A and B are shown apart, each in its own frame.
Chain A
Amino acid sequence: MPFAHHVMGVEGAYPLLYAVWLLPFAGAVACWAFGPQLRRLAGPLASAVIGAAFAGTLLMWGFATQSVGGALGAHVSLGAWTRGFDFGLLMDPLALIWCIIITGVGFLIHVYSIGYMDGDRAYARFFAYMNFFVFAMLTLVLSDNVVGLLVGWGLVGLASYLLIGFWFERPSAVAAARKAFVINVVGDVGMMFAIFAIYAHVGSIGYGDIFANVPALGGALFLICVGLFIGAAAKSAQVPLHTWLPDAMEGPTPVSALIHAATMVTAGVYLVARFWPLFSSSPDAQELVATIGGITALLGAILGTAQWDIKRILAYSTMSQIGYMIMGVGVGAYEGGVSHFFTHAFFKAQLFLGSGLIIHALHNEQDIRRMGGLRARMPFAFWAMTLGVLAICGIPGFSAFFSKDAIIYGALRHGHPWLFWTGIVTAGITAYYMFRMLFVTFLGEYRGDVDPSDLGIRHPELAGTPLPAAPSHGESAEEPHAPAWIMEAPVAILMVPSVFAGWLLFGERSPWHAFFAQQFRPEATVATGIPELAASAIVLVMVLAGIGIAYYRYASKPALENATGRLQQESVHMPAALSAAFYFDTALDILFVKPAQGLGTVFGRWVDPKVIDGAVREIVLSCRWLGHLFRSFETGLVRAYALIVVFGAACFLAYYAFARGL
């Protein structure tokens, strides 16, 4: 099979593709413009729009997977704007997988939000932002050129900013939103330079032209890959641009589930997978991507062990899992990396939505030390979280078992043994911190009424700050509330793929492999010495060890009997390096934020008042001085004016009489 991919997609009309792309935008505009009129209909409307987009995506399946003469997928041209700038939509298997997650999981999270955001003052604004995010993300994955990609890239950053800062009454939310936006712009700049370089070498922005002209990139190939990867790293929270993701948990929980777990943060994985012809041609870039991915996976897992906020645990776990994906696409195991995106979207959305059930029920309490014993009180949330935890840990039969092993073993097969071992260690740590979260949250006694200082919570006034617009059930009886099932049903539906989606990868001739058969060219592999089954066994042993340690520390009989004291001891004796998240924030603060603030101070105190304002003031003063000079000529005396006229006439006369001669 020749991999002549420079013809991207089979040209056609595909009205459905337009519908999938533009419906969420229409929904966003409707919720934005008619929010006060729609009231509580905004949520169902926004959900229905995303549901329709999901249906459209599924109906596009046949077109997206069609292959005619080397052209794969469906392509719609949006016209040539100027020479070399042909815009269009491309839905091929890679874009299809992303669209299924964006609209499918997006639909479930929208439905969940109807319940979660019920009673919020800015109900319609929330759904407008969510629909807008879906539109932006679809723009990102459906674009057939790098400029459209960058537009989508920027728009999802904007949507993320708006949704992290959704509760803008809280200064911490505003700060988190700003931080996320600034770090993402760092990535955007990297991507922009890569795009400039691509256009300079290829003379076109279309994927097809770029991939057909990889040799033309020459020596710039590595730098282009690095530029693209800076964008990917910022968007996908890879070290050292990861610090925004834990802070982004300030947004409402459905936002964390959709944007900061399932879809937007995986855009980096999409980017590397989409540009596989470039990365595959640059082993140095692949090495860099895979290494950063591996480091992020390990670092996120280690930091996950030290968190007490349930959403921050999930945030670090997201960072770690995306590290896996980036590692997978970095070593050249594109199918494996994308498959982990696919399964991760389900179980991580499920975990976030499950945690949202708890947070919602406990009135915005997010500290797992103040939970405990919730198994009896919230059995549905318990089972949802348990299945999600089992899935993320890669217990055999659950989805991540297949997708994570595809990455870990892929690292070995493509000749990166130390990344292989990193992945295995990370899998063990993942099992430890996920079960730690599960045990502390659901087992033992409820600790919500224990004095926070007895649990080692240093600043109880900061923990579980009540939201200004807290969705409070039962307090305002006159407003009818969304039923409980509207939040539980999406979680229940998500359980199915989060448990079973991994089976798509089972076997040598798996459906997943067949699906991507024409998307990626298989990379060269090396002899491993360790059979895949043995690798899976090693991973399993590590996972079981992690679960065992978590059980011993948090779920064994003595641990449960003295849970309060043990949690206090752990909080007090938490290593400083872990509490400070390995000082990444401090380092970035000293290296970039402080100098930038210093520069800002210089400009604010000196350049602006002295140079800019000073120049303006000088111009004003000189104009005033000139005015004073000239007004002295204006006496208002008619005879004086007449004298000037006569004097002027005399001058003319003198000129013609003497200078010119008579």
Chain B
Amino acid sequence: MNSALLPVSLMSYVGLSAVIFFIGVGGVLLRRNPLIILMSIELMWNSANLLFLAFARVWLNNAGHIFAFLVITVAAAEAAIGLAIVVVVFRRTHHVDVDDVRLLKG
């Protein structure tokens, strides 16, 4: 492994990425405010981006950078749809709490 290319060790990137990812997972599972949930999902996207960039640097392969842009694009689209749903729900109920949106209950 070339330390000149990567002053901080790879495992630090992977570890940070894992920490951010699980913070995101925890946010999605534990918070009831949809805006927070969307932000948590954003955290997970970005942990993945961090890995793409770290490994692109390690393997000197630009595909990782390109995929990072792709992920940013998809994340933007996902945020747009998610926020639209939140707005629609808010207009109907005047408060937003994902546990109260249970129309699909069997």
Contacts and interface: CB of A to CB of B under 8 A. Distances in A.
Contacts of A635: 102, 105-106
Interface stretch (A360-368, A398-406, A470-478, A638-646): A638-646
B28 A636 contact: no
A636 B29 contact: no
Interface stretch (A168-176, A321-329, A626-634): A626-634
B28 to A, nearest CB: 5
A634 B28 contact: no
Interface string A642-660: 1100100000000000000
A633 B104 CA distance: 11
A576 interface: no
Interface string B42-76: 00000000000000000000000000000000000
Nearest to B104: A636
Contact of B28 (A630, A632, A639): A639
A637 interface: yes
Interface residues of A, number: 13
Contacts of A636: 101-106
Q: Which of A630, A632, A634, A638 has most B Cβ within 10 Å? A: A638
Contacts, number: 34
A643 to B, nearest CB: 6
A638 B30 CA distance: 11
B29 A642 contact: yes
Nearest to A650: B25
Contacts of A634: 104-106
Interface in B1-36: 25, 28-30, 32
Contacts of B25: 646
A633 B98 contact: no
Contacts of B105: 634-636
Nearest to A630: B106
Question: Which interface class (under 10, 10 to 19, 20 to 34, 35 or more) fits B?
Answer: 10 to 19
Contacts of A630: 106
Contacts of A642: 28-29
Given A639-B29, A642-B28, A646-B29, A631 B99 contact: no
Contacts of B28: 639, 642, 646
A639 B106 contact: no
Contacts of B98: 637-639
A638 B100 CA distance: 9
B106 A638 contact: no
B103 A643 contact: no
Nearest to B40: A642
B35 to A, nearest CB: 13
Interface in A257-289: none
Contacts of B30: 639
Contacts of B101: 636, 638
A634 B98 CA distance: 15
Contacts of A631: 106
Interface in B88-106: 98-99, 101-106
A7 B37 CA distance: 91
A646 B27 CA distance: 12
Contacts of B103: 636
Interface in A599-633: 630-633
Given A637-B99, A638-B101, A639-B98, A632 B29 contact: no
A639 B29 CA distance: 5
B102 A639 contact: no
Contact of B102 (A632, A633, A637, A643): A637
Given A638-B98, A639-B98, A639-B99, A633 B106 contact: yes
A636 B102 CA distance: 4
A635 B104 CA distance: 7
Contacts of B104: 634, 636
9 contacts: A631-B106, A633-B106, A634-B105, A635-B105, A636-B101, A637-B102, A638-B99, A639-B99, A642-B28
What 7 A-B pairs have minimum CB-CB distances, sorted nearest first? A636-B105, A634-B106, A631-B106, A636-B102, A638-B98, A636-B104, A642-B28
Given A637-B98, A637-B102, 8 more contacts: A632-B106, A634-B104, A634-B105, A636-B102, A636-B103, A637-B99, A642-B28, A643-B29
